[in-house]
Amino acid sequence: MSANATIYFEPEGYSITGPRLMGRNAAGHSFLRGLFKHAAVDIFSAFTTSPEAFNVFKAMAEAAQVDKPLRSLSPNRLAALGETGCLYLPGPGLGDHAWQRRLFGERSWSLCGITHTTLSGRAMDAITGLLTAPVEPWDALICTSRAVRDTVRTLLEAQADYLSGRLGATRFTLPRLPVIPLGVETADFQFLRETREQARHGLGITEDAIVVLFVGRLSFHAKAHPAALYQALQAARGTRPVVLIECGWFANGFIEGSFNETAELLAPDINRITLDGRDATLREKAWASADIFASLTDNLQETFGITPVEAMAAGLPVVVTDWDGYRDTVRHGIDGFRIPTYQPPPGLGHDIALRHAVEADNYDHYCGLTSQLVSVDGRAATEAFAALFADPDLRRRMGEAGRARARQAFDWATIIPAYQSLWAELAEERRSSPSLTPPSVRPHPWPARMEPFTAFASYASQSLLPSLVIQRNKAMDGERINAIQALKSFTLSKRWTANSHGLDRIMTLMDDHAPVTVEALSRKAKMDPAALLLAIAIGLKIGALCVAPADDVVKSH
């Protein structure tokens, strides 16, 4: 069984052309390409906040040669999400969207989010907020690895413990937490022999050199500290030259200088080539040139890690840390080697957490301080590289095993149907779940976004009650009313007066300027009470109507 979902689309989350290319950008771009190519749907639907954003969505669809209809939904058409039945969000923030849905009824559609980093305060707030947001069992937060699912559960359990102690809460409704990995388009990583030769020649790499490739942001504090990789390559090198291609980008000159300084001290005999990973042409050259892929990440910001999967798709043996999502993708001794990692036991990071919580340290410092306490087994890393350097047949076997695994387990042709099956299961749960309080008992479906004239009822002198007596302003004719309504300062009121039950009808019924109660006017107009009151409010605002003086009210009786 498969289903469709409307994609919450903000261009930045799906772009790989910006100056700060992050993992979530690459993942979002790859996901959308995979969806366009492999989804069994009749229409592709995007929820956007502006026409310009939908134009970007259309351009990406055209680039993917989509020949199916495209549909745009906006905040003004939120109820139409029920037509696809699911809103897919490129992050863990289901909370606000669950509150918005509650305005239309919890069964109107499902929500499906995904984890990227879970280290940031914003991500942690989104996850812990699930316990108090109106999420339902027919919602899901996709966890890209078992490790990140464990983190999500740990956060939820801690928040539940707090709410139980603070409020006595004992019953919590949670979304599903399925583990579905990120995917790749494996065909993108197939390179001909002549492509390899041209790429290496263009980079000045000799045929006898062994090329080790790292792809990703070049950041010692927020991605992977380079020391472990540099030391292992230096120690494992043999008689053949070793070239390290670092394909990524530096956030600033200080970080770039720190990499150079570290390499000079720890890997003086390793030839480093730095390529701008934001350039698609240079990325292709890097992949085509490589013999071995390496990613010794040690950062808590990581949750899945797509580059080892891309490396396997390229037929490269991989050397990665035994770390979060890498543990789910790379089979030790088959596709490559997973290098042991070590970090302090639970309880030793309170000072780091406190300084981040009170904003004494910013997020970059928080990432960096935690990564400084994570170590990579240098001996195991050296042995892994030495084995691969010495044995071309081992490189070939591991590369072929990884390529087969990438095709079978991580190609979007496999992952997109898993998404659609999940969406279908959520739809069935939404239709069949018996536990839901009738919406009729909920006068305020989203208390934090309460209807304003209830929340602020005490502000005005009085409300437009049925007993309020109003009359036409004798000093204002139709021409004057039209002129005032045409003023730029009253353009917002057109939303309330544009329909046929608006101010014009009321003015016609009040030609004689005689005072009349709101209740009597309602009976006379035979209008929807809400529409009538909104029209009266606008009439009073622009001065076409006025509240009758007390003396006139007495005389009229």
The 3 state secondary structure assigned to 175-187 is: CECCECCCCECHH
Total-model pTM? 0.88
| Proportion of the chain above pLDDT 90, given as a percent | 73
Contact 194, 347 (CB under 8 A): no
Query: Quick check: helix, strand or coil at residue 319?
Result: strand
Same domain? For 202 and 348 the reply is yes
The angle that helices 350-357 and 363-371 make with each other, rounded to 10 degrees, is 170
Query: Between the CA atoms of 64, 68, 73 and 77, what dihedral angle is there, to the nearest 10 degrees?
Result: -170
Q: What is the pLDDT of residue 209?
A: 97
Same domain? For 154 and 45 the reply is yes
Any domain includes 426: yes
Q: Which of 141-145, 492-496, 546-550 has the lowest mean pLDDT?
A: 492-496
Average pLDDT across the chain, whole number: 91
Report the C-alpha gap between 214 and 287 in whole angstroms. 9
Same domain? For 192 and 172 the reply is no
Same domain? For 401 and 495 the reply is no
Report the C-alpha gap between 336 and 347 in whole angstroms. 33
Any domain includes 171: yes
Contact 102, 445 (CB under 8 A): yes
Task: Name the residue range of residue 388's domain.
Answer: 186-410
Termini Cα distance of the chain = 70
Same domain? For 377 and 249 the reply is yes
Whole-angstrom CA distances from 503 to 481, 482, 538, 542 are 10, 11, 7, 11
The 3 state secondary structure assigned to 142-171 is: EECCHHHHHHHHHHHHHHHHHHHHHHCCCC
Any domain includes 455: no
- Residue matched to tokens 């939904």: 73
Residue 208 has pLDDT above 90, yes or no: yes
pLDDT tens by residue, 250-259: 999 999 999 9
Same domain? For 542 and 434 the reply is no
Total structural domains within the chain: 3
Query: Between the CA atoms of 519, 521, 526 and 530, what dihedral angle is there, to the nearest 10 degrees?
Result: -60
Same domain? For 468 and 422 the reply is no
Tokens of 261: 């300084």
pLDDT tens by residue, 278-328: 999 999 999 999 999 999 999 998 889 999 999 999 999 999 999 999 999
pLDDT tens by residue, 513-541: 789 998 888 888 888 888 888 888 888 99
Residue 21 has pLDDT above 80, yes or no: no
pLDDT tens by residue, 71-128: 999 999 999 999 999 999 999 999 999 999 999 999 999 999 999 889 999 999 999 9
Same domain? For 294 and 403 the reply is yes
Q: What is the pLDDT of residue 201?
A: 95
Angle at 108 between CA 3 and CA 78, to 5 degrees: 95
pLDDT tens by residue, 383-429: 999 999 999 999 999 999 999 999 999 999 999 999 999 999 999 99
Residue 382 has pLDDT above 50, yes or no: yes
Residue 23 has pLDDT above 90, yes or no: no
Same domain? For 356 and 306 the reply is yes
Q: What is the pLDDT of residue 549?
A: 81
Any domain includes 57: yes
The CATH number of residue 223's host domain is: 3.40.50.2000
pLDDT tens by residue, 31-82: 999 999 999 999 999 999 999 999 999 999 999 999 999 999 999 999 999 9
Any domain includes 267: yes
Which band of pLDDT confidence, cut at 50, 70 and 90, is reported for residue 211?
very high
Residue 500 has pLDDT above 50, yes or no: no
Cα atoms in the 13 Å half-sphere on the side-chain side of 78:
15
Q: Which residues in 322-361 belong to E strands, given as ranges?
A: 336-339, 341-342
Same domain? For 216 and 350 the reply is yes
Any domain includes 451: no
Same domain? For 176 and 210 the reply is no
Q: What is the pLDDT of residue 554?
A: 47
Cα atoms in the 13 Å half-sphere on the side-chain side of 339:
24
Q: Which residues contact 252 (CB under 8 A, 6 or more apart)?
A: none
Q: What is the pLDDT of residue 441?
A: 56
Helix (H) or strand (E) holding 272: strand 271-276
Q: Which of 49-53, 226-230, 450-454 has the lowest mean pLDDT?
A: 450-454
Same domain? For 344 and 223 the reply is yes
| DSSP secondary structure, 472-497, as one string | E-TT--HHHHHHHHTSGGGGGGHHHH
